[in-house]
Amino acid sequence: MKILPNTYMLQVLIFTLLSIARQSSQTVYTCNKNVSCGCSTSSVSISRIVGGENASSGAWSWAVSIRIGTGSLCGGSIISSSWVITAAHCVEYFTESDFIVYAGSNARWSGSQNRTVSKVIPHANFNPSTYEYDIALLQLSSPLNMSDPALSKICLPNVTQATLSAGEWPSSGTSVVTIGWGRLSEIGSLPSTLQQVTLQTVSYQTSTCLPVMVNWHVQFCATVINGTKDTCQGDSGGPMMMFSSSNQWILVGLTSSGIGCARPQYAGLYTRVAAFQDWINSKTNSTNSNGTSLGSNNYNDTNTTTKPTTTTTPTTTIKLTTTLGPITLHASIVAASIRNVLIVVFFSLLPVSFY
């Protein structure tokens, strides 16, 4: 069929307008490739309108998927060639031989490199009832080859104690990105490709955070106004990141817990990584196997805190529970999926056969 010139021009115009509309609905982050952390080989492009989406290949090269035991799933982040950071509830009741870490791929349990684990270090104060101190370190059996372009390390926060004492960091309303291979809904399936979503931090005093928050010094909340975006089962331990003024991605949180997935009345709960800078450095002896300092991202933000109006820890009104799916003898993993969702309280250790 012959296309008349006017028809052809109309098609070109429509295509152009659609392309412009698509570009305007994307937020593109281009990092500083001259830095030692917080920058991958590919730029990050995130939709402003969907609940969650596939991450581009090479966009998040510090992300790892962690296979636990007979097939449970958590996320983690590379902080050096020898160390991965994740959530404490992901490692509870397990030993070193139960873990396999997959790095360098957007595919779950696949990677250009994989490692077993030689040491598991959960925080000694981790509380499985309140998810306070929900942070752990995994020392890899052998260092990752960081010359692999598919791998890089995330920047750790470098925030002064004065800034942390002054109030919540990052401050309420900060735009953050979280990623993971968790469920696409509370009762949904696992994606085969790494997912990404943008959220905003909220003060612990907000109505959506009060039901899940216990200790704002070591925890914080993030959500969106209408609750259509969230983390869910299988995302636990994965990174929550902020793009800094130095054009680097900074690890500000770890996916920890919550009530359901993407429920408008409840924000998700995250471990406040900045509160654990000294702990991380002490457990990793401040350097990795080749002498590179951990957390040397030169990021020091003294102006982005929200000072709480009270120092009293709010009362938790709803208890986090473990009710969805088969519960094993290894108890709960609050796997917290990046998508739009609906019903039920989750948080149980998820065998692969359940997906």
Task: Write out the two tokens for 123.
Answer: 């925080």
Q: Give the start-end residues of each E strand in the chain.
A: 26-29, 44-47, 53-54, 63-68, 72-78, 83-86, 99-103, 113-122, 136-140, 175-180, 195-202, 219-223, 239-243, 249-257, 268-272
**Residue tagged active-site, from 61, 72, 89, 244:** 89
Distance of CA 34 to the CA centre of its chain: 24
- For the chain, percent helix, then strand, then coil, each to nearest 5? 15, 25, 60
- Determine how many CB atoms are found less than 10 A away from the CB of residue 179: 27
Question: Does 330 participate in catalysis according to the annotation?
Answer: no
Cis peptide before 170, with omega less than 30 degrees from 0?
Answer: yes
Query: What whole-number distance in Å separates Cα of residue 266 and Cα of residue 323?
Result: 17
**Residue tagged active-site, from 236, 256, 257, 337:** 236
Question: Does 123 participate in catalysis according to the annotation?
Answer: no
Contacts with 231 (C-beta within 8 Å, 6 or more apart), sequence order: 178, 180, 182, 197, 238, 255, 258, 261, 268, 336, 337, 338
Q: How many CA atoms lie within 13 A of 65 on its CB side?
A: 23
Q: Are strands 249-257 and 136-140 parallel, antiparallel or unpaired?
A: unpaired
Residue 306 contacts residue 293 (beta carbons within 8 Å): no
**Residue tagged active-site, from 65, 105, 134, 348:** 134
Question: Does 217 participate in catalysis according to the annotation?
Answer: no
Residue numbers annotated as active site: 89, 134, 236
